[in-house]
Amino acid sequence: GKGLGNKFLDDLMQAKVFIHVIDASGSTDLEGNPVDPGSHDPLEDIQFLEEEIVMWMYGILSRNWVRLIRKVGAEHLDIAKVLFDQLSGTGIAIEDIIEAKRTVDPDYNKWEEEDLIELTRNILKIAKPMMVIANKADLPNSAENIERIKEKYPNVIATSAESEIALVKAAEAGLISYVSGDDHFEILDADKLNPNQLKALEYIQTNILDKYGSTGVQDALNYGIFELLNRIVVYPVQDEHKYTDQKGNVLPDGFLVPNGATPRELAYIVHTDIGDKFMHAVDARRNMRVASDYELKDGDIISIITKG
CATH 3.10.20.30 positions along the chain are 231-306
Does 242 have pLDDT greater than 90? no
Mean pLDDT score of the chain: 90
Q: What is 231-306's CATH topology?
A: Ubiquitin-like (UB roll) (3.10.20)
Query: What is the percent of the chain with per-residue pLDDT over 90, rounded to a whole number?
Result: 71
pLDDT band at 276 (very low <50, low <70, confident <90, very high): very high
Backbone angles phi, psi at 231, to 5 degrees: -105, 160
CATH 1.10.8.470 positions along the chain are 6-127
Cα distance between residue 86 and residue 69, in whole Å: 12
Tens digit of each residue's pLDDT (9 = 90 or more) over 153-198 = 999 999 999 999 999 999 999 999 999 999 999 999 899 999 999 9
The helix or strand, by DSSP H or E, that contains position 20, with its residue range, turns out to be: strand 18-23
Pairing of strands 301-306, 231-237: parallel
Tens digit of each residue's pLDDT (9 = 90 or more) over 245-259 = 777 778 878 999 999
Helical H runs in the chain?
A: 6-12, 42-62, 65-75, 79-86, 94-101, 113-127, 142-152, 161-172, 195-204, 210-212, 217-222, 263-270, 272-276
pLDDT of residue 2: 41
CATH 3.90.1010.10 fits 6-127, yes or no: no
SS3 of 226, please?
helix
Cα distance between residue 129 and residue 20, in whole Å: 11
State the pTM of this model: 0.80
